[in-house]
Structure 1
């Protein structure tokens, strides 16, 4: 499958990870609402023990694109919604500039619980490990099975690992569309939090412009 005007596509096998369940849940949910309710009691990995709540995906059941981030942050953990913190606000603003309606896309994370290290009164983000990514892969697969989007967007390395079943060099593969063996097209780009970490104003603006260009490509892919 070729996509006009975009970098070449490579094929990577889809991997469905089998994880022993620590809690009884239905093998299949009939809707995203049912799936979200089931995820509230998820015990597939230890992260639920310290997180405030499960932060599940959000958006319409018939979305043409699913954006996958890494994990909920501090504000998402408290609100119970994905992408509502600083990175989420950057994400929303750039989607708006690209002409992508946030209300028409589905946004989720590779890991559904906030992983952090306490430092005084603060909770500092801690990167999910391979086992935690695999444990949450069951939920990601179910979200995709129900929504059946035209395109998936991997926002950063953790999301790319979850969607492609292997670690990939995000900066090298950024802007590429990778087609899995099950036909799902995965667009690889950075996580918007990367923009926030850049200190030099000119560099920050340049990275924002590049991410905006990525989102414009995603908009075209949504209709393909």
Structure 2
């Protein structure tokens, strides 16, 4: 076992709800990312949420505030959820990895993608959220989230917008909203946003029509 990444299982409570998990995650030492991050950022939403959105990891703003999806990507997500007719207050939002991985460039902290070891080390927290939240549909925002949920590499271009059976739940994958932010030209960015809204609509409809 990697001494820097023993895995989070030791710190995940066996009992209690989301509130107890959110409190316990601050003590997690399941991988080395806790050393540089401000805090762990746990998921938010009700345990009765029918849709769970899983992203990659918290960003700079989320790391400082302790809340998921409140930065620029979070604003894109909010707009897309509204356009898809989904109330964000009725979904559960979280990330596959709970600590911010970054590199410093001057005064800026630049996002670094978590590697497979981080995803695996943090997996027990996501498993606990899946156990506590009664979501019937999981939406993986990006390839990292897709790998964390499905346990295999995910190619977004080949799998997005398709509803897959996942135990008693359904899973669909789409882009991470940060991918839309990186598109500089207006028309391609608007098209990418419309596709993202369409994918969220697939998840909305899957709540009523599960994968067979």
TM-score (norm 2): 0.93
Aligned residues: 205
1:49 and 2:35 matched:
yes
Partner of residue 145, structure 2 = 159
User: Structure 1 pair 26/211, CA: closer, same or farther in 2 (3 Å)?
Assistant: closer
Partner of residue 211, structure 1 = 196
RMSD over aligned Cα atoms: 1.5
Q: Which runs of 4+ in 1 moved over 2 A?
A: 19-27
1:186 and 2:171 matched:
yes
User: Structure 1 pair 20/122, CA: closer, same or farther in 2 (3 Å)?
Assistant: closer
| Kept in 1: contact 2:7–2:120 (CA 8 A) | no
Unmatched 5+ stretches in structure 1: 1-18
Structure whose residues are more often helix by fraction? 2
Partner of residue 118, structure 1 = 104
| Kept in 2: contact 1:23–1:42 (CA 8 A) | no
Q: Which has the higher contact order (CA 8 A, sep 6+)?
A: 1
Q: How far apart are the structure 2 equivalents of 1:221 and 1:99?
A: 13
Q: How many Å apart are 1:24 and its aligned residue?
A: 4.9
Structure 2 matches for 1:1-224, cutoff 5 A? 20=6, 24-25=10-11, 27-180=13-166, 182-224=167-209
Q: How many Å apart are 1:219 and its aligned residue?
A: 1.3
SS in 2 for 1:40: helix
Unmatched 5+ stretches in structure 2: none
| Kept in 2: contact 1:23–1:43 (CA 8 A) | no
User: Structure 1 pair 128/36, CA: closer, same or farther in 2 (3 Å)?
Assistant: same
Greater CA drift, 19-28 or 31-40: 19-28
SS in 1 for 2:21: helix
TM-score (norm 1): 0.88
